[in-house]
Structure 1
Amino acid sequence: MISTYPNVSGKYLIDGKWIEAEKTSKIMNPADVTEVVGEVALCTLEDVDHAITAAEVAYKLWSKSDINERASKMKAAALEIRAIVEENVPVLVRENGKVLVEAKKDLLRCVDIMNEAAAELLNWWQPEILPGSQKVQIRRRPRGVTAIISPWNSPMILTFKRVIPAILAGNSVVVKPATNCPLTIMTFLKVVASYFPKGVVNVITGSGSVIGDALCTDPRIRTIAFVGSTETGKEIMKAAASNVKNIYMELGGNDAAIVLEDANLDDELITKLRYGILRAAGQVCSAVKRVYVHESKYDELVEKLRKKFQYIRVGNGIQPDVEMGPLNNKAQYDYVTGLIDRSEQSGATVITGGIQIDPEGWADGYFIAPTIITGAAQNSEIVQTEQFGPVIPILQFSTHEEAIQLANDSNFGLRASVWSENEELAIEFADQLEAGAVFINNHTVFQDLHLDFPGLKESGISRETRHCSLEFFADTFGFAN
């Protein structure tokens, strides 16, 4: 079945023009791999150079623009995008695999990002006077051409949280969406680009090894904003070192949830924990990837979570009653199913649940049932790696010291959570956990879009936590008189 393609299908954007690509690749629906959702352009190195050149020319003028003009244009673009949210929800579901509720929430958050960052710009841009005997100001200025490389798991939010502040700060951008699901983000960026001078927003697609390498080594690129795997992030750091680019990265996670002995394992807690694990079929960097529970609550937690998993409705996200969709692509599907198989072969117990919606169609999609793993060792693959799927290992601990040691026994440090009736005790735990952010009695995201807490260790770079990420895309300098 071939569906009607979105009007950005097979195209890319350079210097205000949407160009038909000579070579394209099909984008398949992960819930039904017989359905072609659209095409993605396979850009060349010449296209990359053209895009950077256009962005460099645009930057020279856009960087001098008035901040009120920038904010006004962004708010106007937000109004138009809000008007097309509903019609684009099904496209995101079909190219990404999210369920309808999750897809709509992601698109609405893009509108929120645009409005809130535009409002924050007016406060953030003002010079900051430092105390002291000499009058010293901290002033801000845009940095230059910015490369934004986006992932396939949450393409909308994770692209807009970089593109929008980069533009508002006075930079021009070259955006490379993931080839698995670029259509909705390109549709939205088409609207954004129409409100700004040509060349401020450029979008190229294709092979990461070709386009990504070219973006990361080109000396005209001054900032790289990347969201993706830690291994790819390491390669980007190597490439960017050649001309000392600024790097802003959100990388992998292996988030630990610690359930203490005083936690009340009622339906509210189990529901929140379940959502923290299975949101977007577990394909979220900041999803719960490991659960450590006190030995006195271990059996109770496993049983209650098993029952909660049992009733998750799994299927094609385009159906309104589906709660969890497929994995996004075959490579990820093969990895997660292999991880489950290897865990069972090593002696762990695999507990699957879920209700299959349209079980006859499962063979045509990358569906995996919600899965609990018990009996796995701390040094096992399922515990030490980032699963990025609907599978969760549950381990037990005896002492608080052991819980902290186990949770910190990871190369990652993105998020963590502590589940306890004692807030003071939970805060004591939080102070000892190696994570960019710790939640108490929940494992979610920050609702306030002004906030952004990158991870520790191999989970990310950059520590600015305010101003809608505007600070990541500007330089500061001192001015004294």
Structure 2
Amino acid sequence: MISTYPFVSGKYLIGGEWIQAEKTADVRNPADHQDVVGGVALCTEEQVEQAISVAAKAFEAWSRSDIEDRANRMKLAADEIKASVEENVTLLIRENGKVLVEAKKDLLRCVDIMVEAAEELLKWWKPESLSGSQKVQIRKRPRGVAAVISPWNSPMILTFKRVIPAVLAGNTVVVKPATSCPLTIMTFLKVVASYFPEGVINVVTGSGNVIGNKLCSDPRIRTIAFVGSTETGKEIMRAASGTVKNVYMELGGNDAAMVLEDANLDGDAIKRLRSGVLRAAGQVCSAIKRIYVHESRYEELMDKLKKEFQHIKVGNGIQPDADMGPLNNRTQYEYVKSLIERAKNSGASVITGGIQLDPESWDNGYYIMPTIITGVDQKSEIVRAEQFGPVIPILSFKDNEEVIRVANDSEFGLRASVWTEDESKAIEFADRLEAGAVFHNNHTVFQDLHLDFPGLKESGLSRETRHCGLEFFADSYGFAN
């Protein structure tokens, strides 16, 4: 049992001061419920009001700051963050449940975001002259206070991809991390905030209803950046509609992977499929949530994927040999377990695989073994739902028109993948699939941190970015003479 709590435990940040909250809740290790990692402050509406006021006041000076100064501050902060990765990776594992390799990669990508966004700022911020009969420039200016509402599944990378460009673009921020794993992101933000004027970065934690409603309805908040469920996204849109804010949302997904008749299903391809399903125990918005495989390749895929799942070592992420950790919280654990049980009760075949690293302590964590479900159809709950766990339904199809139709038969449209040896066929599919991004022979994330693409339908609300997200936190205006 580790008893040393991080500095940020039970605290919130307003105007450069870390304040101990009167009320807190435990943050527990999803791999071991008895391990209390620290506390999360339960902020009141009055404290959120104070954070917004401080951020609005700080914006007056910060919005006029020199962009080179902003970039230099961020690079210095990145150096300190990079030096602290090793000492903080265990904290992320304990509160989130990620395995060691995933946790460390997330922390290092936060450093990459800081450096790349700072360098991009210096290029992107320059005025752009338009050709024509009149001299016209496109110029940029900061928008105001931004609210960043972060999820529990990938709290580090998804927070930094919003906070960092917001600050670099000259905005101030109020950050609301998830209550089940706020400590690592707050530890990193403590470092980042120390390199910027007081009030530029503020952090409040606690009830989503209390904090979210205040942030979304306050007219001083000019941008909302949210990652989370589609239902919560709808509530945010309703709360924000009264003051017509800019809203940037990455919401739920039910990503389809389509394995065509000519797909290469060698060992590397099967590993990429497995990773697309089981990365972070399936708790990824853009994970593969359903697989459609051509009927001529169905038995081959099933045989190979079942064997691949059998080798997955499931246990506490702190163990170097763990391939997959627990689900993050009880609510999600019970939801995924109930999905599996209902599928089984409806007549589906449920196939589990994997190796329990610590069978004797298995019940102390939110563990679910890698699971394949067959004997379902397009109307089945497990096919239509966003399961957000290590569970994958596999269905067969007869022809390409059929699989395009069923892949698009969803209210979600985040990502998709096409597995075929014919790139032109993959592009043909991509042109017809209702997804914000389509991958060929893989199902992953964009490695270039400059890039991101919004989901379609109920999976997102924003626009593609080519400049580390800076575009979303600044207004462009025309200057003409």
Aligned position for 1:398: 398
**1:441 partner letter:** N
Shift of 1:289: 0.3
Mapped partners of 1:140, 1:180: distance in 2: 37
1:131-146 map, 5 Å:
131-146=131-146
Residue 298 of structure 2 corresponds to residue 306 of structure 1: no
Per-residue deviation, 1:465: 2.1
2:83 aligns with 83
Runs of 4+ in 1 over 3 A off after TM superposition: none
Matches within 5 A, 1:116-265: 116-265=116-265
Question: What amino acid sits opposite 1:295 in the alignment?
Answer: E
Aligned-partner Cα distance in 1 for 2:281–2:422: 31
Deviation at 1:137, TM superposition (A): 1.2
> Which residue pairs with 2:66 in the alignment?
66
Shift of 1:2: 5.7
Compute the displacement of 1:417 (Å): 0.4
Task: Tell me how far apart the structure 1 counterparts of residues 259 and 440 of structure 2 sit (CA, whole Å).
Answer: 10
Query: How many angstroms does 1:3 deviate by?
Result: 2.3
Letter aligned with residue 129 of structure 2: I
Whole-Å Cα distance in 2 between the matches of residues 105 and 352 of structure 1? 28
User: TM-score normalized by structure 1?
Assistant: 0.99
Deviations 1:310-350 (A, max 9, x none): 11000000111000000000000000000000001111110
> 1:434 — aligned with what?
434
**Secondary structure of 1:467 counterpart:** coil
Secondary structure in structure 2 of the residue aligned to 1:248: strand
Identify the residue that residue 343 of structure 2 maps to in structure 1: 343
Structure 1 residue 276 displacement after superposition: 0.4
- Give me the whole-angstrom Cα distance separating, in 2, the residues matched to 1:464 and 1:134: 29
In structure 2, C-alpha distance between the alignment counterparts of 1:196 and 1:384, rounded to whole Å: 45
What is the identity percentage for the equivalent residue pairs of Structure 1 and Structure 2? 75
Deviations along 1:149-179, whole A, 9 cap, x unmatched? 0000000000000000000000000000000
| CA distance in structure 1 between the partners assigned to 2:309 and 2:378 by the alignment | 23
1:5-44 superposed matches below 5 A? 5-44=5-44
> Amino acid of the residue matched to residue 318 of structure 2?
I
Using the alignment, how far apart are the partners of 1:214 and 1:396 within structure 2? Answer: 47
Structure 1 Cα separation of the partners of residues 153 and 184 of structure 2: 13
2:108 is matched by which residue type in structure 1? L
- Could you tell me how far apart the structure 2 residues matched to 1:19 and 1:403 are? 54
- What CA deviation, in whole Å up to 9, does each residue of 1:269-302 have, x standing for no partner? 1000000000000000000001000000011101
Instruction: Report the residue type matching 1:371 in the other structure.
Output: T
- Paired residue for 1:411? 411
- C-alpha separation in 1, matches of 2:398 and 2:462: 35
Q: What is the rounded CA distance, in whole Å, between the counterparts of 2:209 and 2:241 in structure 1?
A: 17
* Residues in 2 aligned to 1:104 and 1:339: alpha-carbon distance in whole angstroms: 31
**d(CA) in 2 for partners of 1:468, 1:309:** 35
Amino acid at match of 1:53: S
Distance in 2 between residues matched to 1:200 and 1:218, nearest whole Å: 18
CA distances 1:355-394 after superposition (whole Å, capped 9, x unpaired)? 0001111100000000000111101110101000000000
**Alpha-carbon contact 1:464-1:472 (below 8 Å) kept:** no
CA contact (8 A) 1:464 1:471 kept: no
Please tell me the residue identity of whatever aligns with 1:266.
D
Cα distance in 1 between the residues matched to 2:168 and 2:206: 26
| Residue 93 of structure 1 pairs with residue 84 of structure 2 | no
Residues 153 and 283 in structure 1, CA contact (< 8 A), matched pair in contact too: yes
Q: Which amino acid aligns with 2:441?
A: N
Q: Distance in 2 between matches of 1:403 and 1:332?
A: 29
Per-residue CA deviations over 1:121-167 (Å, capped at 9, x if unaligned) read: 01110111122211111111000000000000000000000000000
TM-score (norm 2): 0.99
Q: Per-residue displacement from partner, 1:80-119 (whole Å, max 9, x unpaired)?
A: 0000000000000000000000000000000000000000
